[in-house]
Structure 1
Amino acid sequence: MRFWICATCGVEHADRPRVCAICADERQWVPVDGQLWTTLDDLAAAGAGVAFAPLEPGLWGLTVEPAVVGIGQQAKLLVTPDGALLWDPPAFVDDAAVARVRELAGPAGVVAVVASHPHMFGVQVEWARRLRPGAGRALPVLVARADLDWVARPGEEIVDWEGEREVLPGVTLTQPGGHFPGSAVAHWAGGAGGRGVLLSGDTIFANPDRVSVSFMRSYPNRIPLSGRVAERVAAHVGRFSFERLYNNFDGVIPRDARDVVIRSARRHREWTEGAHDHLT
């Protein structure tokens, strides 16, 4: 089935509208030259492929290379003995990428495809269809109920959810909101040698200094969340133990990530409420 991919955000569309609604929103952008569309065939002709990089035992980063679609985001493949989770799915898929995911996922296979928020939908339905576990069985694409209206390519694979969901033993999806009302994170209790890992998308964004994080409505357009929302998000994920945090690019907080999140939320509130105006 032919479908369209927004070249800027990498999200699949059943039809080709005049403009991608995700990019036209204040959190994203439409290129100065106008809306651009592409297809899997076009991307394959441009040499696109999916590169796999080991991040830690049980966790792989997936990027589209060369960077011919999307904003350079890095998907994650989280592999456990009970199955694998494809998180923030890439904006491109081909037979080689599917074969590699199947190999890494092992006999239990991929149990779900999940994006942290609409910017990271990628070609989620296409990934689910190609990773389908068997005839008559759809691989679920879990989409936050609050963000369901952003889905531009419907399919039987789409399953809405809200609140909290254990998608695999020791792997919990939860929705702190913030960046989008349904923005989600994935907590992996067995990550970081059993000290816990948080896959945060850009609900909580690991900063380049590796000792702080950001809380934003829009990263490219520099729209901050309020201090109250930042602390709400931090408190929500602070219920879990996690040593390490990965965002939706190659950013990582390598240690003490839970404390970093809570401390950064406090700093965010102080700055947005004017506590440090004397420094400006």
Structure 2
Amino acid sequence: MRKKETFNRHQKLAFKVIEYIYKYIDTNINIEELASDLSVDRFHLQKVFKEQFDTNIYETIKSIRLQKASNLLLTNIHSTITETANQCGYSSQTSFITAFKKKFNQTPKEWRKGGYIKYSNDILKTAHFDLNKKFDYSMIEPKIVKTETQKAYYILQRGYSYSEGINNWKKIQAWSYTHDLKECIEIGIFHDNPVITPSSDCFYTAAIVPKDLDKEIESNLLTLNIEKGLYATFDISGKFGEVLPLIRWAYHEWLPRSGFETNTKPSFAIFHKNPVFDENKEFEATFYLPIQYS
């Protein structure tokens, strides 16, 4: 029992670190301050994080900064490279360009001019996505909505893994049955753009928002706030995995032409039919793409 309690405690701590990093990615994240905020020793925090995710906190921060920047370079076409770097927590354009080139083997300018295409295609190949299959999104009419903050119970995973994703959704389902929750919203949160982020580096969250809940449930699941904001929404349907080409189109084609820009908030999908629980692995969902206009 003690071993299970320790695992659950360590997992919650590691999840909180990831949540903190994504929330404050535009700042100079100090691990001492992070540990203090979480009321733990810095060395213990680093050890626990390494155990849970098989990587260290410094490398994770660096990777997330670059993944966020690589996405903004494509979508925020009127922002300068310096503005993009600042938005992802870099204080120096020089250090950003050096780090970017080391990771992507091209400069931010080369990436923006089309260098991302081969990189993205290679990622989709590893995701077993048929690049020759054509999807017509011309009939999708996005709506612009303003959402309110939603408190969700969640399980986070590193790696866009089919089997782990199914397992986590089933855990969420079992948790909702255990607590006799009658009506819930199922939300998949894409903390990274999965079509330009290697599957092994993606963080994905399976989350559930109980409706009409009087008080927080004490359990092994953590809570997070899906922050209020401005979103473009797309009603979509298809087979398991076919959300990836929609994300690619929304970020790489629709957004640059739309006159909107995005930010470092995650995108997410609210499932009306979850492919994990459908016998034909089909889904119906509304995809929420964070946008800004000023």
Q: Same fold (TM over 0.5)?
A: no
- Point out which structure has higher relative CO (alpha carbons under 8 A, 6+ apart): 2
Q: TM-score, normalised by structure 1?
A: 0.29
Q: TM-score, normalised by structure 2?
A: 0.28
